[in-house]
Structure 1
């Protein structure tokens, strides 16, 4: 029974939260506790595309985005070859996830390589999800163990740039303030921007005494 529950939980996380996110450091212990392996070890690129279509359905019928910022990359245009050239240019190490060439994880990425201010801390990990056709569908940027003040300033800057490009967030929760995050562990702030052809999510979470986690995700719901 518990194995069945774990399998269902893993699939839901895989389909709804983003495939790349499950390979980030904070998610790996979760999968281990669930008692399941990586959901993409046996998945083909086309199967992953099909799974990604589940959350993509939530954006059907919404108007198109005025812009589609994605940490300096172009959704549905950037290719695996483009990513390889970018990584070489910036001397960044990127690897396929479990041998799946359409899923890439890059470590210790300098902020300027992502088109972000030099004052930003390097990204601990940036994951890229490519479609079976070879174009970029999802970019996820993760930073962890940040001081509250640094995370607040970073999130404020990212939020400002997203609002300038996209307008008011579709959804928001929490507060990007030291007072809010001083209330205790697992306090969070989130903004979501939702369009028919684009979605962006900015999340800031206090992980107990381990500091702040800041996550940016940029998603193209349609090819």
Structure 2
């Protein structure tokens, strides 16, 4: 489960970007564990919901969010079948056993997702559901070759979030070309924390892999 506490945000977000590269993800899946909650092995419904609650505790801010964007899905309402139906309509392929409470979907064009950072680009959706089959977290990640495209995408999303959700709760690094070109795993992260909702947008320089990882994550913090 993704736990972001205080100053550890950069390290964990960098881990998120690295963990979703094929070689590292393969190792996590072989072991049956993943630090981001995308496990390869089923867990009990009670343990799964408890892990979601622990993550929510670490991410909470103050007051309710007036708007809860989720890339066109609805937190606490969208079901697994809703996502699979969407996938069929948008040329996306999804994988994930029901007992793992998650789906991983390969999307040919993440521009088909409302409020996506990028258009005409492939990407991957990671979705986590509670034991009642309701969406708790959705994350989209894409690889971008040019830093200018990555920073433009991040800044566009931040403008929309700030307009509709509110001011950021925490910012680390700078979503600028000069900053992100500073070295491998150089990262810009912006968080929006509320009592019932958490959003995070980030860009990570993936170094020798030759691309920048652009990520948007939206999570319900309701118990």
Q: 1:192 Cα shift?
A: 0.2
Task: Report the secondary structure of 2:131's partner residue.
Answer: coil
Provide the residue aligned with 1:195 in structure 2.
194
Q: 1:129 to 1:117 in 2, by over 3 A?
A: closer
Alignment of 1:5-154 (within 5 A): 14=1, 16=3, 25-26=20-21, 29=24, 32=27, 36-39=31-34, 40=39, 41-59=41-59, 62-96=62-96, 100=99, 102-116=101-115, 120-154=119-153
Q: 1:211 Cα shift?
A: 1.5
TM-score for both structures, normalised by structure 1: 0.81
Provide the residue aligned with 2:157 in structure 1.
158
Corresponding residue pairs, total: 207
- CA shift digits 1:106-157 (9 cap, x unpaired): 0034223211469624342101111111110000111124310110111111
Structure 1 outlier segments of 4+, above 4 Å: 21-24
- Distance in structure 2 (CA, Å) of the matches to 1:148 and 1:22: 15
- 8 Å CA contact 1:24–1:125 kept in 2: the answer is no
TM-score for both structures, normalised by structure 2: 0.81
- Distance in structure 1 (CA, Å) of the matches to 2:61 and 2:181: 39
Provide the residue aligned with 1:6 in structure 2.
none
- 8 Å CA contact 2:151–2:176 kept in 1: the answer is yes
Rg comparison, structure with higher value: 1
Q: Unaligned regions of 5+ residues in structure 2, if any? A: 5-11
Q: Unaligned regions of 5+ residues in structure 1, if any? A: 1-13
